[in-house]
Structure formats: structure tokens, C-alpha cells
Amino acid sequence: MEAQGILLSDDGVLRVMRWEFEPGAETGVHTHMFDYVVVPVTGGTFRALVDGQESDYVQVAGESYSRNRGVTHNVTNVGDAFASFVEIEVLTT
């Protein structure tokens, strides 16, 4: 099952997406071309597959974190509830 990405805004400087995951939904393998910030809306339990290594992590609603461009991964909602977060990509350097 595929996670749903909803474009909220893109002004050429910042791109804001809301990602919605039913239990078991995943993004598919992708590479981030820009630095980004994630702001969890609901919180949830996710599994990331990075370079063949799986790791589970818990998002807490409202507790943001950032990552640098170049990350290649697949993200799956491994919890038993709907989960959502907002991803803000910085399109300029």
C-alpha cells in the first residue's frame, strides 16, 4: 500500500508536503534531493530501510527533526493507526 503525498505549497524556495500513511503504507524507495524538515502531525511508529538496514523509530506529534539531502530510504508505517507528517524541503542552498 502506498503512502499519500499531498502538495500543500511550493514557492520555489520551500516545498511543503503532507504525507498520510494507513497502517502498512510505505513511501517506496526514494532519494531526497534537498535538505528537509519533518513535523509529525499525529505521531506514529515507522520503519526506515536505509542502505539495506532497517530501523524503527517513533515520531511524536509536534516534535520536528531535520535531515540532509542525499538520504535514500523507504519509510513504512509499522504502527496499527493512521499516521501523518508534514515534510518541508528547502529548495535553495
Phi, psi (rounded to 5 degrees) for 83 = -140, 150
Q: Are 74 and 60 in contact (CB under 8 A)?
A: no
pLDDT at 49: 87
CB burial of residue 21 (10 Å; 0-12, 13-18, 19+): buried
pTM above 0.85, yes or no: yes
Res 51: pLDDT: 78
Residue 3 pLDDT: 98
pLDDT of residue 70: 92
Report the number of distinct structural domains present in the chain: 1
CATH number of the domain bearing residue 65: 2.60.120.10
The pLDDT score that the predictor gives to residue 92 is 85
Structural domain span for residue 24: 4-90
Q: Which residues of the chain have pLDDT under 70?
A: 93
List, in order, residues 6 or more apart from 17 with CB less than 8 Å away.
5, 6, 7, 8, 86, 87, 89
Return the pLDDT at 90. Answer: 97
